[in-house]
Amino acid sequence: MPKNVVDGYVWTRLAARQGNSDARSNLPAMAVEMTDKELKKARYIVSKSLVKPAKSEHSPRGTRIFDSKDSVRQRRGTPGR
């Protein structure tokens, strides 16, 4: 079965919204492997999701939740994307 990076990112981001720390830590690596078009599509799907963030989406001290602004900064230096 072919890999679907958009669906994978969507489900991982939704899990991170609910407080799953493993999902949260996997998002940066996933975003780096995606094209701009794939990432934009995944973020759109997440934005339309009925799954709401857990009561507090503030990450524990020393960790951060990966968001769209972070990925843009991190991916600027990535050639061919």
**pLDDT one digit per residue (tens) for the chain, 81 residues:** 667 999 999 999 999 999 999 999 999 999 999 999 999 999 999 999 877 777 654 545 544 555 554 554 455 555 454
User: Does any domain span residue 27?
Assistant: yes
| Predicted TM-score (pTM) above 0.75 | no
User: Does any domain span residue 10?
Assistant: yes
User: Does any domain span residue 51?
Assistant: yes
Q: Which domain holds residue 9?
A: 5-75
Question: What is the CA 35 to chain-centroid distance, rounded?
Answer: 13
Nearest to 19 by CA among 56, 45, 44: 56
User: Does any domain span residue 81?
Assistant: no
- Burial zone of 39 (CB within 10 Å; 0-12 exposed, 13-18 middle, 19+ buried): buried
**What's the number of domains the chain is made of?**
1
User: Does any domain span residue 64?
Assistant: yes
